């Protein structure tokens, strides 16, 4: 048994009004040289929705759902919620937890895959937030192939394919587009060079997509595509972009319909609402393709239950060979514990990718 005092639901954060948008974007891009015109472009996405990202409300709902699931299973662990880029910030939440006598936190990070954005940045922010405190933060493993994360997508693709078939589309004329956040190719490689050019990041996505397709739409061809690239246009990022992929599919006559599966994200936040529901759906329409967009896990009971299972496997020190995983890449190893500004190796082997991403 490993003792924890509380869970720290850890996420990206988002603006909640027009005045928040630019300070939020400055937080996100601090020191990373994102061109101003791109910042303005992103601000525009938020402005369109009143300056409000849905992500904070989705995390409040996830926190409530986790609390209900923990209570139903008689697990006495309070849930704190903190963000990297907007209030409640990690450093404030860590101070609040410490004041309440909660110093051994288990971080539940809302990133399913291995990348600097989803792993290294959180570790660095945990280090900053715990520096000079008595609080330590452990983190659950990347859960890309955990049944609780995969099941909602299997249901979503199954429903989308059924709805297209009901609309008269032949099952093998549906193309399933698994879409995730593009990252620089160098960052992808750094996420785990032992997995090939795309690193652990691409390998994990390919493995999960194949599991979902086999279960939900075995007759339909599929591909892995990317969204939301940003940064310097001269820097290579993972491709193809989903809009280019839709154009090429239509030009090649390879499909009558596309199913868009945003399996890089756990909730329908801004990047889903704007880049997919707005842009990619329009692109499909322009090319005369039927389109369905599959929901993200959100507060799906399988996802919420799966997160609690991921907490329990750490509390109970469940050995790797007994941990649920749906691909041959899993179960992904645990991380080093962050304590008082330092990373202390945990008992489990920490993969090289964790230390070297990006
Ligand atoms: C891999 C990945 C995830 C998934 C893993 C995870 O979930 O953590 C993710 C999630 C998210 N990204 C988000 C928002 C943004 N990401 C940006 C910028 C970037 N993301 C990157 C990668 C990722 N991002 C990268 C390589 C950049 C380039 C700049 C940099 O080197 O970091 C920018 C700056 C402007 C721009 O460049 O577009 C914004 C505003 C939101 C919140 C949405 C909302 O408000 O609802 C969420 C959940
Ligand atoms: Fe991002």
| CATH code where residue 324 lies | 3.40.50.1400
Position 98 in a domain? yes
Q: Which of 293, 308, 340 is the last residue of a domain?
A: 293
Contact 111, 13 (CB under 8 A): no
175 in the same domain as 212? yes
End-to-end alpha-carbon separation of the chain, Å? Answer: 33
Per-residue pLDDT for 344 more than 80?
Answer: no
289 in the same domain as 153? yes
Domain count, the chain: 2
Q: Which of 278, 293, 308 is the last residue of a domain?
A: 293
For residue 165 the two structure tokens come to 């078939």
154 in the same domain as 118? no
| pLDDT at residue 353, as a whole number | 41
159 in the same domain as 213? yes
Lowest mean pLDDT among 25-29, 61-65, 133-137, 213-217: 25-29
* pLDDT band at residue 38 using 50, 70 and 90 as cut-offs: confident
Position 346 in a domain? yes
Position 161 in a domain? yes
Q: Which atom of ligand 1 is nearest to the CA of 54?
A: 46
Q: Which atom of ligand 1 is nearest to the CA of 34?
A: 37
What range does the domain containing 14 cover? 6-143+299-356
288 in the same domain as 154? yes
Distance 214 CA to ligand 2 centre (A): 29
Position 320 in a domain? yes
| pLDDT at residue 42, as a whole number | 82
112 in the same domain as 125? yes
Please, what is the average pLDDT of the chain?
Answer: 93
- C-alpha distances (whole Å) from 296 to each of 97, 98, 111, 261, 284 are 30, 33, 12, 8, 20
- Would you say the CB of residue 112 lies under 6 angstroms from ligand 1? no
- Would you say the CB of residue 180 lies under 6 angstroms from ligand 1? no
326 in the same domain as 201? no
Tens digits of residue pLDDT in 156-169:
999 999 999 999 99
**What pTM does this model have?**
0.94
Please give the Cα distance from 105 to 137 (Å, whole number).
5
Contact 264, 202 (CB under 8 A): no
Mutating to test ligand 1, I would choose from 181, 189, 231 the residue with most ligand atoms within 8 A of its C-beta, which is 181
- Would you say the CB of residue 32 lies under 6 angstroms from ligand 1? yes
Please give the Cα distance from 82 to 90 (Å, whole number).
5
Distance 353 CA to ligand 2 centre (A): 19
Position 1 in a domain? no
**CB-count exposure of residue 73 (10 Å: 0-12, 13-18, 19+):** exposed
**H or E segment to which residue 236 belongs:** none
136 in the same domain as 253? no
What is the DSSP annotation of 185-228?
A: HHHHHHT-GGG-TTHHHHHHHHHHHHHHHHHH-TTS-EEEEEE-
Q: Say whether 271 counts as a known binding-site residue.
A: yes
Distance 168 CA to ligand 1 centre (A): 37
130 in the same domain as 105? yes
321 in the same domain as 223? no
Mean pLDDT of 223-237: 92
ipTM here: 0.93
- Would you say the CB of residue 230 lies under 6 angstroms from ligand 1? yes
Please give the Cα distance from 47 to 77 (Å, whole number).
37
Per-residue pLDDT for 209 more than 50?
Answer: yes
Q: Say whether 328 counts as a known binding-site residue.
A: no
73 in the same domain as 96? yes
Other CB atoms within 10 Å distance of the CB of residue 36: 8
Q: Is 4 helix (H, G, I), strand (E, B) or coil?
A: coil
């Amino acid at each position: 048994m490993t003792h924890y005092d509380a869970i720290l639901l850890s996420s990206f954060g988002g603006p909640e009004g027009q005045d928040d948008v630019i300070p939020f974007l400055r937080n996100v891009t601090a020191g990373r040289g994102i061109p101003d015109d791109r910042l303005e472009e992103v601000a525009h996405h938020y402005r369109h929705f009143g300056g409000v990202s849905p992500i904070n409300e989705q995390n409040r709902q996830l926190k409530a759902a986790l609390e209900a699931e923990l209570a139903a299973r008689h697990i006495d662990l309070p849930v704190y919620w903190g963000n990297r880029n907007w209030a409640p910030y990690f450093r404030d939440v860590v101070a609040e937890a410490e004041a309440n006598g909660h110093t051994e936190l288990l971080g539940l990070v809302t990133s399913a895959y291995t990348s600097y954005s989803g792993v290294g940045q959180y570790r660095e922010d945990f280090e900053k937030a715990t520096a000079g405190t008595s609080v330590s933060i452990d983190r659950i493993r990347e859960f890309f192939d955990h049944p609780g994360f995969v099941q909602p997508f299997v249901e979503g693709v199954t429903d989308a394919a059924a709805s297209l078939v009901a609309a008269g589309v032949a099952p093998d004329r549906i193309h399933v587009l698994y879409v995730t956040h593009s990252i620089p190719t160098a960052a992808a490689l750094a996420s785990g060079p032992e997995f090939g050019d795309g690193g652990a990041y691409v390998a994990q996505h390919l493995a999960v997509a194949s599991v979902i397709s086999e279960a939900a739409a075995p007759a339909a061809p599929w591909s892995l595509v990317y969204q939301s690239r940003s940064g310097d246009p001269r820097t290579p990022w993972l491709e193809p972009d989903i809009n280019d992929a839709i154009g090429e599919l239509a030009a090649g006559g390879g499909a009558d319909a596309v199913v868009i599966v945003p399996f890089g994200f756990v909730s329908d936040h801004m990047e889903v609402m704007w880049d997919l529901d707005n842009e990619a759906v329009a692109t499909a329409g322009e090319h005369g393709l039927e389109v369905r967009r599959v929901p993200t896990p959100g507060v799906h009971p399988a996802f919420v239950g799966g997160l609690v299972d991921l907490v329990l496997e750490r509390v109970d020190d469940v050995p790797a060979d007994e941990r649920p995983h749906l691909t041959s890449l899993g179960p992904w190893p645990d991380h080093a514990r962050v304590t008082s500004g330092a990373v202390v190796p945990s008992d489990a082997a920490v993969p090289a990718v964790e230390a070297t991403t990006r």
